[in-house]
Amino acid sequence: MAEAATAKGSSQIAISPAYRRYALFVLLLAYISSYVDRQIMGVLVEPIRLEFGLTDTQMGFLGGIAFGIFYATLGIPIAFLADRLSRRNIIALAIAVWSAMTVACAFAIGFWTLAIARIGVGVGEAGSSPPSHSMIADLYPEHQRSGALAIYALGVYIGIMLGFLVGAYVATEYGWRAAFVVVGLPGVLIALIVRFTLVEPPRGHSDGLAAAERGPINVAVARQQIRAAFAHLWQDEVSRHVVIGVTLVSFVGYGGAYWGAAFFMRSHGMTMFEVGVYLAAVIGVAGVIGAVVGGQLADRLGSKDMRWKMWIVALAKILAAPLILWFFLEFDSTVALVVYVPTVLLGAFYLGPSFAMIQSRAPVQMRALCSAIMLFILNIIGLGLGPQLVGVLSDLMAPVYESESLRYALLMLSFINIWGAWHYYRAGRALAARKG
């Protein structure tokens, strides 16, 4: 009885407005930590490349495939466990692992040892987002979910901001190895906060459902559940177009985020510290505003016309397209730096609405798994291949464009955003049809 009372009390705390806000804040801290540790490679591309004598293709591998494949693949089995075990404990363990492996990057002696450490970071980060998405979906009802997940998505932009700012400063003053240590260690504290201050929300509570049953953990059940989740994401037309759309725009986004600092250093002659401060300011302000505004607009406009939950993302991508073209074709550094600001703001619209739509349409008992499958596809293609393709294209075009080869590689990649916008438009149409 004592245990039941404790569990009941924990559930009540988990669904109170104050606790709900606190839990979202802590999960946001965890997400920020993951992106700091993930993005730190982007600001350190040039010093690492020069010290180890690597090509852009090799650097693309370190920022893409080495991290992305393990991050994406392990997300599915971990999410299966998260739909049955304590999501809080899984998140806490994941933070501890990726933080330790980020510190391990500081001790790399060459390409392969750094690749192994980055794989370790990917393994740890695989256990964070799917269970976090699931917990937030159980804390916030559908009409508030886009906004809540947009706040969670701020971790992308705050994390990138801190990664650029702290990484550039520490690397400039103390070397790139020290930067890995400085950004990795705080994750240990965040892991402890998650483990000892968060409680599990009742599954399905925000949708007015009884707590979902947790099935047994065995291989047969896992296969069946994974097949069912894949089938749901493919057969549900809205989910299918969202997954394709978010994958395509992330392909562009990850490629640009990883190579952004190197582009400004090579094409605009900026120092690493100047790039770090500038990108931290732009991504930290414009990115955060864009993510919040995108989520809020999706909730508000979507409450009147469901199609706008997805159409707001399509519109943002279409409006950003000419600005991106201008940015990469602009050789005046001052103008380019100004044009970059609205491209970042509009580019941030997609995260909250995309995550929320997947969670809202997924069956309660497989929300973490559906999120993991979406992230698996997104990260295999976007995170794994985006930075890699940019590196390959840059090396291929280097004999013609020399130091400007990275500029044109990024420019070529940006056109994929239009394709992604079309899928968000289709998702809105399908959503309207299903709402009847």
In terms of Cα–Cα distance, which of 424, 368, 381 is closest to 134? 368
Q: What is the dihedral of CA 376, 378, 382, 383, to 10 degrees?
A: -40
The per-residue pLDDT for range 244-290, each reduced to its tens digit, is 999 999 999 889 888 988 999 999 999 989 998 898 888 888 888 88
pLDDT for 208 equals 55
Query: Does position 12 have pLDDT exceeding 60, yes or no?
Result: no
- Please provide the DSSP assignment of 152-196 as one string: HHHHHHHHHHHHHHHHHHHHHHH-HHHHHHHHHTHHHHHHHHHHH
Which CATH number, 1.25.40.10, 1.20.1250.20, 3.30.450.20, 3.40.50.720, labels domain 23-197+215-435?
1.20.1250.20
Q: Which of 121, 374, 81 is nearest to 249 (CA)?
A: 374
Task: Report how far residue 131's alpha carbon sits from residue 138's, in angstroms, rounded to the nearest whole number.
Answer: 11
With cut-offs at 50, 70 and 90, classify the pLDDT of residue 375: confident
Which tokens hold the place of 367? 């929300």
Q: State the chain's mean pLDDT as an integer.
A: 85
Separation CA 137–CA 195 (nearest Å):
19
Q: How do the domains of the chain map onto residue ranges?
A: 23-197+215-435
Pair of tokens at residue 120 = 């370790």
In this prediction the pTM is 0.75
